Amino acid sequence: MDIISGSHKILQFGLRSAWANFILFIVYDLIVITGIVIGQGVLKEPYLAIAEVMTLVSAPLLVLLMVAIHECAPQSAKVFSLTALGWMLLLAGSTVIVHFINLTLWRQISVQQKIDYVRFLGWEWPSMMYAIELVAWHLFFGLSMFFAAFVFKGKRWEKVVRIALIATGLLCIFGLIGPLVGDLIWRLIGVFGYGVGFPIVCVLIARVFKNAPSN
């Protein structure tokens, strides 16, 4: 069958992974928005630290969701699910390294050292760490969403998921326009993709897992 299916345990695992990602991303969005409003446009402590920790937590949850999708993918779509999983692993590894450095090394070095290394470790554009983060969430995440779309080959809700995943992936990738032209306002296209589009996709994927036939 060219539809999502699997054992009852794997389908339940996928269902819970989808909901866990939805909840985490919504809470993250609320924390960031609250922090920016309180900080008058700048995300300050303790909201910044909380957001960093939540990003570290989100990485393995995203991988688990892709693992579930790959396991339940129809045989004819395994190449797409495996590709999506590969891109998600790159996203997880990259963003974990970036945010772990932000939580540890960057907070423990002196002000003078921060000035000396701001273009490498700083969180203002342009910097190397910021560039890695942008590649992770716009390119790696976007490609993972795009390839995952072709796993959902069925009709009805699977078709809705397929369209939503393609849209989310393309939005994330288009967000790379920002760093390419040096104007990060364009990055908001991608932020809308993973910050708004992806939580919606998680709800749709959860519905597919809930209604998928078990074998």
pLDDT tens-digit map of 184-200: 999 999 999 999 999 99
Q: What is the pTM of this model?
A: 0.94
Write down the pLDDT at residue 45: 86
Count of other CB atoms within 10 angstroms of residue 37: 11
Q: What is the mean pLDDT of the chain?
A: 94
Write down the pLDDT at residue 150: 97
Q: On the CB side of 95, how many CA atoms lie within 13 Å of its CA?
A: 27
For the segment 57-74, what is each residue's pLDDT rounded down to a tens digit? 999 999 999 999 999 999
112 versus 159: which is more confidently predicted? 159
The answer to whether position 3 is within a domain reads no
To which residue do tokens 């539809």 refer?
3
* 197 neighbors 167 (Cβ within 8 angstroms): yes
Segments forming the whole domain that contains residue 178 = 8-211
Write down the pLDDT at residue 185: 94
Domain count, the chain: 1
- CA distances 63 to 21, 107, 119, 149, Å, are 10, 28, 30, 16
Write down the pLDDT at residue 2: 86
For the segment 132-182, what is each residue's pLDDT rounded down to a tens digit? 999 999 999 999 999 999 999 989 999 999 999 999 999 999 999 999 999
Q: On the CB side of 29, how many CA atoms lie within 13 Å of its CA?
A: 15
pLDDT band at 1 (very low <50, low <70, confident <90, very high): low
In the predicted structure, residue 115 carries a pLDDT above the cut 90: no
To which residue do tokens 């390294």 refer?
97
Q: How many residues make up the chain in this entry? A: 215
The answer to whether position 1 is within a domain reads no
